[in-house]
Amino acid sequence: MSQSSFTERNLHILFPLPAIIFVAMLMVFPVLYTLFLSLTNWNLTSGAPLSFVGLKSYARVLTEPRFLHALTRTFVFTFFAVAIEGVLGVAIALILNRAFVGKSVAKLLLLLPLVATPVAVGIVFNLFFDPTTGLANYILTSVGLPQGLWISSAASVLPSLIIVDVWQWTPMITLIVLAGLAGLSNEPVEAAHVDGASEWQILRYVTIPMLMPVILTAMILRLIDALKTFDIIFAMTGGGPGYASETLNIMAYKYSFEYFRMGQSSVILVVLFLVVFGCSLGIMKLRTSSEI
Amino acid sequence: MRKLLVAALVILSSLWLSSNTMAETKELRVLLANHPYGDLLKAAIPEFETATGIKVNAESLQEGQLTTKLTTEFATKSSSVDVFMTRPLQEGKMFYKNGWYEPLPGFDFSDYPKNVMSVATFGPKSYLVPLVTEWQVLYYRKDVLKDAGLKVPENFTELEATAKKINSDSLAGFASRGKGAAAVTQLSSYVYNYGGLYLDNGVAVFDAKPAVDAIRFYGKMLGNFGPKGVTSMSWENIMPLFQAGKIAMWTDASVFYGQVVDPAKTQVAAENVGIANFPAGPKMNSPFIVTSWGIALAKQSKNKELAMKFLEWATSKELAAKGMLSNITMARSSVWEDKAILAKINPGLVETRAYAAKNGNPLDRPYMSAVGEARDLIGELVIESINTKGESVSLEKMAKEKVAKVNEILQDTGEYGK
């Protein structure tokens, strides 16, 4: 058998091979390795070698109230952040889609948060939210409102973090929806005008349904990101006060790099992986069913 | 084509040769902390390089990141670190258990006090050289106390009365770390002064009455007179407030003294900042005095001889003297007996150290491998106590739960009862 004929016969395997190897090494291997670690008791503080313990780590972590709180918190944070970003992002895109003076400046300013580094954003907002010296309380006081504790109180830390996430990521939804709006055909809108539909009716029954696939795509991207949010929370609160802003990702970090319980940390990461995977699948299904 | 091949071969072989000669040049990789002494070493390294011909690649990291980096590199056996700064109370036991420290049999430890060496020694061998000691003190505003006609508090009753009298909307009467795990070290002296302990011979005992009373008192002080949002404050949040003149009294480690009197960093004039002994509690006055930083050789280092040379230089008397003159409180005894040095440093530091060295406790946290987790658990009690201003009805119950958890961790790591 000549070599060239072997190559020719197996082109369909050989050509995608580099890509497959790349994906296997950089994506599949880490996931499988995490899964393997989650079945071990690897714990650096004990000094003992790694040993296989089956589902023991799962039983221990999944029944811990701290884990359940972190799981709930991850969902609450993601739900409110993505919902607010969705509504605001679409509204801003619709406004920016109209002609007005200073539109390009407004567009530029609105997109600025998107290019800021999350850790830097976190540090700036930390100064902003400081209860004693921060600008947020200064503004509240100067308009006669009572001062808040922002990220310093268990009750207000999550809403404060959601505000920061919304500030940073709403522009992303705006950007995607704006691109979607640019690609929409004008004919259905004109037809609705001719039929005597009001502006609200056109928005509600024509523009939004036509935009739905784009909006959902933007939401999926945000959802996946929000579930995994780490940088902003870590830079601002590190999961505190206490565990009041600890999401799954932060908890996994603490378990790995502060408690050095690598096995149990992997359990948390496997759960987070499943959560992200499940949510993405759900929304993708929703998207397919909403396509016209 | 042939020419191209030859050229490629020449380039490759010269690269290989140069990499080999690189390996032969004397080089060390050193990991330092973002600590005043780490900075001092970094600045002095060129002198060491000129004197020895050894090239030193030094990296500086924030303390938490330093532990993470060292742990990750050592655990994955991929480390090229030769010498590193280390926190004996935080990571010492874990690093020792995993065999990441190289023992230092040839080092002369005679200049280090016995209690300082207690956290550097495991069994018959010593594994790290203590660099810096810290003890807990009370920082206070001389002008504020003077205006209110008050003297410096010497015990907890006076501390509370003073804080109550000077506390106002624009000035917090008292501050100390309130951020869960970060507060545990500063809480320790309160626990000791109430007659309690975190661990007693490898068993968690902070659910005993003295410790719980101390946690209540700490929560009462911070809940009533502390700055707003104190449950999310560590020293890096409290110090700027003190420097901005928004805090009247502050208990924390002596290491910050240099910064609170540095005119470039503070709005409060240095003559208005006082430093005093930590106030006594109902049972005793035994503030912590700990070896906060040490330096060690990495077990897997391939250049141990050179690394030892660096370690001896980095822990030399000359550099220790230099550290003292930059307000860094060094671990060597001799620099605290050198009159020429003592004449140049703040008498408040000398006096509070003498007091703590005589009466203090060498630990400021539960001394165990899984200290990070134990600190988080005790931190929950601190936050509960602050949020309820020391009145929590469930504090005893919570303390029992946390003690059970810490004991479980001690059993997991094989340190229970040891």
Q: Read off the pLDDT of residues B146-199 as tens digits, 9 standing for 90 and up.
A: 999 999 999 999 999 999 999 998 999 999 999 999 999 999 999 999 999 999
Question: Quick one: pLDDT band at residue B121, thresholds 50, 70, 90?
Answer: very high
- pLDDT confidence tier of residue B133, bands split at 50, 70 and 90: very high
> Of B300, B330, B351, which residue is a domain's last?
B351
Number of domains in chain B: 2
Contact A259 B246 (CB under 8 A): no
In the predicted structure, residue B202 carries a pLDDT above the cut 50:
yes
Mean pLDDT of A155-168: 94
Residue A179 lies in a domain: yes
Q: Do B228 and A131 touch (CB under 8 A)?
A: yes
- Higher-scoring residue by pLDDT: B76, B21: B76
> Cβ A130–B229 below 8 Å, yes or no?
yes
Terminal C-alpha separation, chain A: 52
Per-residue model confidence (pLDDT) at position B10: 58
At B331 the pLDDT is 93
Q: Which of B351, B379, B398 is the last residue of a domain?
A: B351
* C-alpha–C-alpha distance, residues A77 and A96, integer Å: 27
Q: Is the peptide bond before A118 cis (omega within 30 degrees of 0)?
A: no
Quote the tokens at residue A118: 């999350």
* CA pair distance A88, B201, nearest whole angstrom: 58
Split at pLDDT 50, 70, 90, the class of A292 is very low
3-state SS class at A186: coil
Paired with B335 in beta bridges are none
Residues B93 and B218 in one domain: no
Q: Chain A interface, mutation test: which of B91, B98, B232, most A Cβ atoms within 10 Å? A: B232
Query: Which residue type occupies B373?
Result: E
Residue type for position B120: A
**Contact residues, chain A to chain B, C-beta under 8 Å:** 43-48, 130-133, 147, 149-154, 237, 240-243, 254, 257-261
The reply to whether A133 falls in a domain is no
pLDDT value for A2: 56
User: What would the 3-class secondary structure string for A250-280 be?
Assistant: HHHHHHHHCCCEHHHHHHHHHHHHHHHHHHH
Smallest Cβ–Cβ distance between A132 and the set B180, B228, B387 belongs to B228
Residues of B in contact with A45 (CB under 8 A): 94, 97, 369-370, 373, 409, 412-413
What is the pLDDT averaged over residues B247-257?
94
- Confidence bin at A267 (pLDDT 50/70/90): very high
Domain that holds residue B179: 134-288+361-412
Contact predicate B230/B386, CB 8 Å: yes
Residues 6+ apart with CB under 8 A from A33: none
Same domain, B73 and B7: yes
Confidence bin at B106 (pLDDT 50/70/90): confident
Would the CB atoms of B372 and A260 count as touching at under 8 Å?
A: yes
- B68 CB neighbours in chain A (<8 A) are 257
The confidence score (pLDDT) of residue B8 equals 59
Question: pTM of the predicted model, to two decimals?
Answer: 0.86
- Per-residue pLDDT band for B11 (boundaries 50, 70, 90) equals low
- Chains A and B form CB pairs within 8 A to the count of 91
* Domain match, B336 and B408 both: no
* CB-CB under 8 Å, A242 with B369: no
The predicted model gives A68-88 an average pLDDT of 95
Q: Do B413 and A47 touch (CB under 8 A)?
A: yes
- State yes or no: pLDDT of A4 exceeds 80: no
- Quick check: A259 and B373 CB within 8 A? yes
Does residue A267 fall inside a structural domain? yes
> Which residues in chain B have their CB less than 8 angstroms from residue A260's CB?
71, 94, 370, 372
Distance from CA of B27 to the nearest CA of A (A): 29
Q: Are residues B405 and B321 in the same domain?
A: no
Asked whether residue B95 is assigned to any structural domain, the reply reads: yes
Asked if residue A104 is part of any domain, the answer here is yes
Q: Which of A45, A132, A237 sits opposite B246 (nearest CB)?
A: A132
| Token couple for B119 | 């956290």
- Mean pLDDT, residues A163-167: 95
pLDDT tens digits, one per residue of A86-129? 999 999 999 998 888 888 888 888 889 988 999 999 999 999 99
Domain assignment of residue B57, yes or no: yes
Domain with residue B298: its CATH number is 3.40.190.10
Which residues in chain A have their CB less than 8 angstroms from residue B241's CB? 132-133
At A21, the amino acid letter reads: I
Residues of B in Cβ contact (< 8 Å) with A147:
228
Q: How many residues does chain B have?
A: 418
Work out the mean pLDDT of chain B and round it to a whole number. Answer: 91
Contacts of B414 in chain A (CB under 8 A): 46-48
Distance from CA of B67 to the nearest CA of A (A): 8
| Same domain assignment for residues B109 and B159 | no
Alpha helices in B25-110 (DSSP H): 36-52, 63-75, 93-97
Domain that holds residue A114: 48-120+151-290
CATH number of A277's domain: 1.10.3720.10
Q: Answer yes or no: is A232 within a domain.
A: yes
Chain B residues with CB-CB distance to A133 below 8 A: 240-241, 244, 246
What mean pLDDT do residues B101-108 have?
A: 93
Residues B296 and B404 in one domain: no
**Is there a single domain that holds both residue B119 and residue B191?**
no
State percent of chain B over pLDDT 70.
94
Asked if the structure places residue A24 within a domain, the reply is no
Nearest CB to A260 within list B71, B227, B240:
B71
Q: How far is CA B213 from the centre of its chain?
A: 25
Taking contacts as CB-CB distances below 8 angstroms, the residues of chain A near B230 are: 152
How many CA atoms, within 13 angstroms, populate the side-chain half-sphere of residue A128? 12
pLDDT for res B265: 84
Closest chain A residue to B231 measured between Cα atoms? A241
| Distance from C-alpha of B389 to C-alpha of B218, rounded to nearest angstrom | 9
| C-beta separation of B202 from B374 below 8 A | no
Residues of B whose CB is below 8 A from A151:
229, 232
pLDDT at position B251:
97
Q: What is the pLDDT of residues A193-217, one digit of tens each?
A: 898 888 889 988 989 999 998 998 8
A242: left (phi over 0), alpha (psi -120 to 50) or beta: left
pLDDT higher at A145 or B6: A145
Question: Do the strands B27-33 and B55-61 form a parallel or antiparallel pair, or are they unpaired?
Answer: parallel
Which of the pair, A186 or B352, is modelled with greater confidence?
A: B352
Q: Is B249 exposed, middle or buried (0-12, 13-18, 19+ CB in 10 A)?
A: buried
Q: Give the tens place of pLDDT for each residue, B278-307.
A: 999 999 999 999 999 999 999 999 999 999
Q: Which of B80, B88, B91, B82 is nearest to B129 (CA)?
A: B88
Quick one: B375 and B334 in the same domain? Answer: no
Cα of B116 to nearest chain A Cα, Å: 23
Interface test with B, best of A141, A152, A237 (most B CBs within 10 A): A152
**B356 assigned to some structural domain:** no
- The per-residue pLDDT for B21 is 46
Give B31→chain A minimum CA distance, Å: 18
Going from the C-alpha of A187 to that of each of A184, A206, A286, B224, B228, the distances in angstroms are 9, 10, 26, 67, 58
Residue B381 corresponds to which amino acid? Answer: L
Clarify whether residues B331 and B264 are in a common domain: no
CA of B166: how far to CAs of B227, B248, B274, B311, in Å?
13, 8, 16, 48
- The minimum CA-CA distance between B382 and chain A, rounded to whole Å, is 9
Same domain, B97 and B234: no
Calpha distance A259→A250 (Å, rounded): 12
Q: What is the mean pLDDT of residues A225-246?
A: 92
Q: What is the pLDDT of residue B166?
A: 95
pLDDT at A27: 87
Q: What pLDDT is attached to residue A82? A: 95
Residue B284's Cα: distance from chain center in Å? 23
pLDDT at A78 over 90: yes
**Mean pLDDT across the stretch A162-172?**
95
Looking at the domain assignment, is residue A23 inside a domain?
A: no
Nearest to B238 by CA among B327, B174, B180: B174
Burial of B302 (0-12, 13-18, 19+ CB in 10 A): exposed
Question: pLDDT at position B261, please?
Answer: 87
**Mean pLDDT estimate for chain A:** 90
Same domain, B282 and B326: no
Cβ separation B94–A44 shorter than 8 A: yes
CB contact under 8 A, B246 and A260: no
Tally of domains within chain A: 1
Within a domain: residue A21? no
Residues counted in chain A:
292
Instruction: Inspect the interface and report whether the beta carbons of B412 and A260 lie closer than 8 Å.
Output: no
Q: What percent of chain A has pLDDT over 90?
A: 53
Cβ separation B229–A260 shorter than 8 A = no
pLDDT at res. B306:
92
B142 & B75 share domain: no
Tell me what pLDDT residue A291 has: 59
Q: Most A CBs within 10 Å: which of B77, B98, B228, as the mutation test of the A interface?
A: B228
- Banded model confidence at residue A131, pLDDT cuts 50, 70, 90: confident
Question: Which residue out of A37, A41, A43, A45 would a mutagenesis test of the B interface target, given it has the greatest number of B Cβ atoms within 10 Å?
Answer: A45
Asked if residue B218 belongs to a domain, the reply is yes
A231, amino acid identity: D
